[in-house]
Amino acid sequence: MNAPVKTLNFSRRAVLKGGAITVGFALAGLPSRVRAQSAAVAKRILDSKEVDAFLAVNGDGTVTLFCGKVDLGQGLRIAIPQIAAEELGVNVDKITFIEGDTALTPDQGRTSGSNGIQRGGVQIRQAAATARKALVELAAQRLNAKAEDLETTGGMVRPKSGGTGISFADLIAGKQFDLKLDPKAPLKDPARYTIVGKPLRRPDVPAKCFGTHLYMQDFSMPNMLHARVIRPATVGAKLVSVDEGSVKDIPGAKIVRVKDLLAVVADDEWSAVRASRALRAKWSEGTGLPSQGGLVESLRNEPGIVDETLVNKGSPAAQRPDGAKALNATYYWPMQSHGSIGPSCAVADVSSESATVWTASQGTHGNQTSFAKFLGLPKEKVRMIYLEGSGCYGMNGHEDAAADAAILSRAIGRPVRVQWSREDELGWDPKGPPQLISISGAVSADGRILDWRTEMWIPKTTRGLPNIPLLAPEAAGLEHVPGLNTGLISQNGDPPYSAESIQVIAHWLKDAPLRPAPIRSPGKPANCFAVESFVDELAAAAGIDPVEFRLRGLKDPRAIEVIKRTAAMMKWQPQAYQLASTSNAIARGRGFAYIHYKHSESYVGMGMEVAVERATGRIAVERVACAHDCGQIINPDGVRAQIEGSILQTISRVLMEEVMFDRSRVLSVDWASYPILRFSGVPKIDIELIDRPTEKPVGAGEAACTTVGPALANAVHNATGARLRTVPFTPERVKLALTGKA
Amino acid sequence: MATYNLRINGNAQTVDTTDADKPLLYVLRELGLTAAKFGCGLGQCGACTVMIDGAAARSCQTTVADAQGKPVVTLEGLGTPEKPHPLQTAFINEQVPQCGYCTNGMIMSAAALLQSNKKPSEADVRSALDGNLCRCGSHVRVLSAVMAATGQRG
């Protein structure tokens, strides 16, 4: 326990609080992520109403932050310490960040919906502000000064006029704040920020470049077995029989079966891989899948659809004015995979008394409840510990691998590491659901949107579902809540522009062809694709420049600024909507799109320049310009990285990605059958950040995904006159559209 | 059980296994060299890339028998915090990785490129790295970092 890493010296801490003794726990030495098996975990305060749940001042003047949100590569490991350091008045390098451990961190909800900063960070800011207020008051007593004459800086409370101060450690180390988060604790004036707003470097980057960062996939523990789970040949199939002799030639390999959950375990990973290939098992026919060819029609006609009016503003005029043009169009976004580069992995150590699970899940705290349920353990006996995995953008197979490992560990009484294969990951990760969207509307001769009606056919999230249903508990016949979870996929189905009437109708489907899960910016890339494509169609019908058309319908100055800034980056010259060219072998065009994410978060303007090779139907995105306003920026380099990632990942989704399946199972199970973007497809990207230090910070991890589809489709239309309304824009689809057959 | 004599990051290493087809990736990871990552096991993604005889190689597709007697360099051996390879310095300066799961392969493939081409054009870099997949969208920074490491950019 004396390794020379960050020393979190809680070991002598013993504080009497409410009659209960909070005993010390030995964090010293171990990397924060690997303390798990340390024998004595203190009775930490985990109530997210308490300051002590979020932060502790240590004897050496360092501060430990306990964060329920986790860093998946999006940069919370620096951004949240920046927020806390700024508000407390301590240097950011004095902060140790602990994330996503149900025994140590308060439940701040799943790390999703682009809310790491806007919810998680803001909550920690208030905890830090409350702590600062308390520290200043303590110091005022000690210094015999007035609180308003003191300030905090560099881990000290000092008189504003200068002179000797008192360190935080002297004031409170070894004690607890014992304070509720005070929503009225004054926040630092953003004009005086010295840490927030700076492009500080992410602390995990060097280890990632030297190969020493500990990923979930790299974690192991003594006495651990390696497992591979064998999924059925057909979706919904039951295990009929297993040929026990089929793995006998592989040293140490054993078969583990819990009802229909089938796995092989071995002392080393390669033996487990070989055993999984050698294993022979017989499965029942299964429930199978719908026909992919008929999927779009079946969504519209699914029995059991429940209609809901999501937006109903104004009412359509009885008669449209003279010269009005009415249009309608249907758009489709297919099922897509998270496509994580590393297949999911987890380690679990489960006994009849307790469970410890190491997982790359974005929802460690939420999983504590659902894992306790299917393991039949009290919640407090289940500890979920986050370790960073390969990038996940919602919910890939991480949770499933964790459930696999937990159930197998319980079955064999040893720690188990489950590593999914590539085929497992692309075949069995929960998928982004299909979305079918029809829009009808009309534009007046002078370019006003008259009536607008969006109808969407989308799977409905099961109310009150704690999690996405997991494969292993279902296969093992354990208590588990069935249902669907898609994320909030119905938002932004209405245009952000003024219109005489706007209606959005959701036709909720009670089922989904494949198990659904939220994928980055759930649903909004499809909804924005439909809405912003249709806006372009209306602008074209009215003969108005698409940027001008959008500006006419907006009043919000932040919306107007991102659009104007994007147009300036594109050197956009307003002109009546026209095609860029019609005859060249390679047609070039430009497109535009805008979103106010969820109508309440980031503002994004996006312009795109594309080239379309007519003979092949191949699209090359040559340049993307993006103006982005996410309110107060915590770390501008982190925001840029998120925007770059949003753009590139969504170009991949729009141009290339669709889960392919037959009536038995998913067929697109490797990178040849489920291709994603490569370097040859990477455009030039220009980003302008608009910082608004006095606005609240909102999420930057998702919004720029949404504008990619429509900007791209609008650019292809500008180049060729062809409208692409079905994702992905494969060369075959583009060729059909170019010949008017799509 | 057969014994294989490997040379990894300049160190002699003997490996005992009953399976001559055991991929080098698993050998490395069992030795605690976990920079090379399992991504697909099919040679399609590049996450497991190492250098063998100075050329980029997919360690998931290289058997322990094939690796015998040839110098193997992993990301751990390419450079350290005390003595970083210029690519590692550039990747840190450009803050390239997001999740970073592909970073090993990006750096090792680029390092192999620089062995034969000290001043690659951006097109050369794109071409050399086209078999390395990234899902987070760090590509633009990868390109900047490789160009910076060759002294061709800011």
CATH of the domain at B71: 3.10.20.30
CB atoms within 10 A of CB A238: 14
Q: Collect all residues of chain A within an 8 Å Cβ-Cβ radius of residue B39.
A: 341-343, 390, 422
Write the CB contacts of A17 (distance below 8 Å, at least 6 apart in sequence). A176, A178
Question: Cα angle at A234 between A229 and A235, to 5 degrees?
Answer: 80
Evaluate the omega torsion of the peptide bond into residue A728 and state whether it is cis, within 30 degrees of 0. yes
Q: Collect all residues of chain B within an 8 Å Cβ-Cβ radius of residue A342.
A: 37-39, 47, 101
Beta-carbon contacts below 8 Å between A and B = 171
pLDDT for A582: 60
Of the candidate ranges A457-466, A588-597, B11-20, the one whose mean pLDDT is the lowest = A457-466
Question: Cα angle at B106 between B153 and B74, to 5 degrees?
Answer: 115
For A:492-531, CB contacts with B below 8 A are none
pLDDT for A31: 43
pLDDT for A656: 98
Q: Cβ of A209 and B88 within 8 Å?
A: yes
Q: Collect all residues of chain B within an 8 Å Cβ-Cβ radius of residue A204.
A: 97, 100
In a domain, B43, yes or no: yes
Q: Are residues B111 and B70 in the same domain?
A: no
The CA–CA distances, whole Å, from A269 to A261, A488, B6, B29 equal 19, 38, 20, 10
Q: Record the tokens describing residue A136, joined without a space.
A: 């200043």
CB atoms within 10 A of CB A313: 13
pLDDT classification of A8: cutoffs 50, 70, 90: very low
Predicted confidence (pLDDT) at residue A41 exceeds the cutoff of 70: no
* B22, B45, B75 - which closes a domain: B75
DSSP notation for A530-587: HHHHHHHHHHHHHT--HHHHHHHT---HHHHHHHHHHHHHTT----S---S-SSSSEE
Tell me the mean pLDDT in the region A499-512.
96
Of the candidates B18, B97, B125, the beta carbon closest to that of A205 is on B97
Mean pLDDT, chain A, integer: 91
pLDDT classification of A20: cutoffs 50, 70, 90: very low
CATH class name, domain A44-189: alpha beta
Question: Cα angle at A373 between A372 and A374, to 5 degrees?
Answer: 100
pLDDT for A27: 37
Any A CB within 8 A of B49 CB? no
The secondary element (H helix, E strand) that includes residue A256 is strand A254-258
* B75, B110, B131 - which closes a domain: B75
Write the CB contacts of A610 (distance below 8 Å, at least 6 apart in sequence). A588, A589, A590, A591, A619, A620, A621, A622, A712, A715, A716, A719
Q: Are residues B64 and B90 in the same domain?
A: no
Q: Record the tokens describing residue B46, joined without a space.
A: 């590049």
Convert the pLDDT of each residue in A568-615 to its tens digit: 999 998 776 566 656 689 999 999 999 999 999 999 999 999 999 999
Q: Are residues B68 and B90 in the same domain?
A: no
DSSP H stretches of helix in A395-502: 398-412, 422-428, 471-475
Read off the CATH number of the domain in which B97 is found.
Answer: 1.10.150.120
CATH class name, domain A218-286+338-428: alpha beta
Total number of domains in chain B: 2
pLDDT for A37: 32
Q: Are residues B70 and B90 in the same domain?
A: no
Closest CA to A646 of B98, B137, B144: B137
Closest CA to B101 of A300, A648, A207: A207
Write the CB contacts of A734 (distance below 8 Å, at least 6 apart in sequence). A612, A617, A618, A619, A716, A722, A724
Q: Are residues B69 and B97 in the same domain?
A: no
Give the structural domain span for B43.
Answer: 2-75
pLDDT for A119: 87
Give the separation between CA B49 and CA A324, rounded to whole angstroms.
60
**Lookup result for tokens 């050496």:** A60
Largest Cα separation within chain A, whole Å, is: 83
Largest Cα separation within chain B, whole Å, is: 53
CB atoms within 10 A of CB A187: 14
Q: Are residues B92 and B69 in the same domain?
A: no
Q: Cβ of A342 and B23 within 8 Å?
A: no
Contact A479, A530 (CB under 8 A): no
Of the candidates A210, A342, A649, the beta carbon closest to that of B101 is on A342
In a domain, B105, yes or no: yes
pLDDT for A579: 62
Q: Record the tokens describing residue A184, joined without a space.
A: 């009225």
ipTM of the complex: 0.99
Convert the pLDDT of each residue in A169-183 to its tens digit: 999 988 999 999 999
pLDDT classification of A23: cutoffs 50, 70, 90: very low
Q: Are residues B16 and B41 in the same domain?
A: yes
**Lookup result for tokens 């949003």:** A646
Any A CB within 8 A of B59 CB? no
Q: Cβ of A680 and B103 within 8 Å?
A: no
pLDDT classification of A463: cutoffs 50, 70, 90: confident
Give the separation between CA A245 and CA A261, rounded to whole angstroms.
18
pLDDT for A32: 42
Q: CA of B41: which chain A residue's CA is closest?
A: A422
Note the CATH number of domain A523-738.
3.30.365.10
Of the candidates B76, B130, B142, the beta carbon closest to that of A211 is on B76
Q: Are residues B91 and B123 in the same domain?
A: yes
Question: Is residue A383 packed enough to be buried (19+ CB in 10 Å), middle (13-18) or exposed (0-12)?
Answer: buried
The secondary element (H helix, E strand) that includes residue B25 is helix B24-30
Q: Collect all residues of chain B within an 8 Å Cβ-Cβ radius of residue A392.
A: 99
Interface mutation target, options B133, B136, B144, B146, chain A, most CBs of A under 10 Å = B136
pLDDT for A581: 59
Predicted confidence (pLDDT) at residue B9 exceeds the cutoff of 60: yes
Q: Are residues B57 and B111 in the same domain?
A: no
Tell me the mean pLDDT in the region B69-81.
97
* B10, B43, B75 - which closes a domain: B75
DSSP notation for A60-113: TS-EEEEESS--SSSSHHHHHHHHHHHHHT--GGGEEEEESBTTTS-----S-T
Tell me the mean pLDDT in the region A378-403.
96
Please provide residue A285's backbone torsions phi and psi, each rounded to the nearest 5 degrees: -70, -30
Contact A583, A528 (CB under 8 A): no
Write the CB contacts of A478 (distance below 8 Å, at least 6 apart in sequence). A374, A375, A376, A407
pLDDT for A12: 27
C-alpha distance from B30 to closest chain A C-alpha (Å): 8
pLDDT for A545: 95
Q: CA of B96: which chain A residue's CA is closest?
A: A205
Closest CA to A199 of A691, A696, A557: A691
Three-class SS string for A89-101?
CCCHHHEEEEECE
**Lookup result for tokens 């490129």:** B113
pLDDT classification of A30: cutoffs 50, 70, 90: very low
For A:657-696, CB contacts with B below 8 A are 670-672, 676-680, 682, 685
Of the candidates A338, A341, A389, the beta carbon closest to that of B102 is on A341
Q: Are residues B71 and B107 in the same domain?
A: no
Any B CB within 8 A of A564 CB? no
Any A CB within 8 A of B121 CB? no
The secondary element (H helix, E strand) that includes residue A127 is helix A122-143
Predicted confidence (pLDDT) at residue A18 exceeds the cutoff of 60: no
Q: CA of B128: which chain A residue's CA is closest?
A: A679
In a domain, B81, yes or no: no
Q: Cβ of B139 and A646 within 8 Å?
A: no
Give the DSSP letter of residue A679: G
Give the DSSP letter of residue A121: I
In a domain, B22, yes or no: yes
Give the DSSP letter of residue A180: B
Q: Are residues B59 and B119 in the same domain?
A: no
Q: Are residues B25 and B54 in the same domain?
A: yes
Q: Collect all residues of chain B within an 8 Å Cβ-Cβ radius of residue A211.
A: 33-36, 74-76, 104
Q: Which residues pair with B5 in a beta bridge?
A: B14
Structural domain spans, chain A: 44-189, 218-286+338-428, 523-738
Say if A44-189 and A218-286+338-428 have the same CATH topology. yes
The string over A646-667, giving b where at least 16 C-beta atoms fall within 10 Å of a residue's C-beta and e elsewhere, is bbbbbbbbbbbbbbebeebbbe
Q: Which residues pair with A243 in a beta bridge?
A: A280
Q: Cβ of B137 and A644 within 8 Å?
A: yes
Question: Is residue A160 packed enough to be buried (19+ CB in 10 Å), middle (13-18) or exposed (0-12)?
Answer: exposed
For B:90-109, CB contacts with A below 8 A are 91-92, 95-104, 107
